[in-house]
Amino acid sequence: MQPVRDRLIVGLDLPTIGDAEKVVAALDDTVDFYKIGYQLVFAGGLEFARDLIASGKKIFLDMKLLDIDNTVARGVENVVAMNVSMLTLHAYPKAMAAAVEAARGSDLCLLGVTVLTSMDADDLKDAGYADDPATLVGRRAKQARDAGMGGVVCSAREAAMVRGIVGPDMAVVTPGIRPAGADHGDQKRVVAPADALKAGASHLVVARPIVKAADPAAAARAILAEMDYAPA
């Protein structure tokens, strides 16, 4: 099992590259893995990702791709060329199959997003799904496994179920992590760091509790300490 430092991914959910640079500088000796999503991508985040990779950091590019097969495949090919460590796409079978073929032979870990951690049963119903979150997560985890994906993204509340479906080798990445006493924000299915690891998560994504903290490095160290209580 990887050291806890390699299992913590800090989400750079920030409005500008300048803001992200300040957080990365503050976390330099503490964190090696960063998530970059839509907000920062549209502010120059792809070039920033390349710079971080060149400096020895690892990048989780959270783009949640979903499109026709050819478009997904061509996009994945370009992400492979960036030397990104992880890339998300929505866990739809055809999209996953196209992405897996495009990434074949590379070190890119493709992650299928099951159900967003901001969604609960009522949200799924409003979106036209008949399934509750756990049922839909389980179905999509099986589809990701069968497609040959590198892992899945799910709430830590479903991590134990997902780990049972995908086996010991696939990544189970859990956002919606909140340390003890932290505000839940817009996340509805949250779990504490050690509990997420005990449930079977391989990596934890933490954004606001670190990047919005008065002392990001201290906040990250506190979360790493919580993670140390989980079994390896």
Phi then psi for residue 102, to 5 deg, are -70, -30
Query: Would the annotation count 22 as a binding residue?
Result: no
How far is it, in rounded angstroms, from Cα 222 to Cα 211?
13
Query: Would the annotation count 195 as a binding residue?
Result: no
Query: Would the annotation count 70 as a binding residue?
Result: yes
Retrieve residue 50's tokens: 């390349």
Query: Would the annotation count 63 as a binding residue?
Result: yes
Query: Would the annotation count 35 as a binding residue?
Result: yes
User: Nearest to residue 158, comparing CAs of 142, 182, 135, 134?
Assistant: 134
Query: Would the annotation count 13 as a binding residue?
Result: yes
Query: Would the annotation count 198 as a binding residue?
Result: no
Query: Would the annotation count 30 as a binding residue?
Result: no
Alpha carbon separation from 138 to 35, 101, 167, 211 (Å, rounded): 24, 23, 13, 31
Q: Which residues contact 99 (CB under 8 A, 6 or more apart)?
A: 65, 72, 73, 76, 87, 89, 110, 149
Q: Which of 22, 57, 64, 142 is catalytic?
A: 64
| Rg of the chain taking only CA atoms, in angstroms | 17
| Chain Cα centroid distance, residue 57 | 16
Given a contact cutoff of 8 angstroms between Cβ atoms, the answer to whether 27 and 215 are in contact is: no
Query: Would the annotation count 32 as a binding residue?
Result: no
Query: Would the annotation count 69 as a binding residue?
Result: yes
Q: Is 29 a catalytic residue?
A: no
Q: Which of 51, 67, 120, 195 is catalytic?
A: 67
Query: Would the annotation count 165 as a binding residue?
Result: no
Query: Would the annotation count 53 as a binding residue?
Result: no
Q: Is 64 a catalytic residue?
A: yes
Given a contact cutoff of 8 angstroms between Cβ atoms, the answer to whether 66 and 90 are in contact is: yes
| Chain Cα centroid distance, residue 162 | 15
User: Which helix H or strand E contains 179, and what residues bound it?
Assistant: none
Binding residues, as ranges, are 13, 35, 62-71, 117, 178, 187, 207-208
Point out the residues that are catalytic: 62, 64, 67
| Binding annotation for substrate | 13, 35, 62-71, 117, 178, 187, 207-208
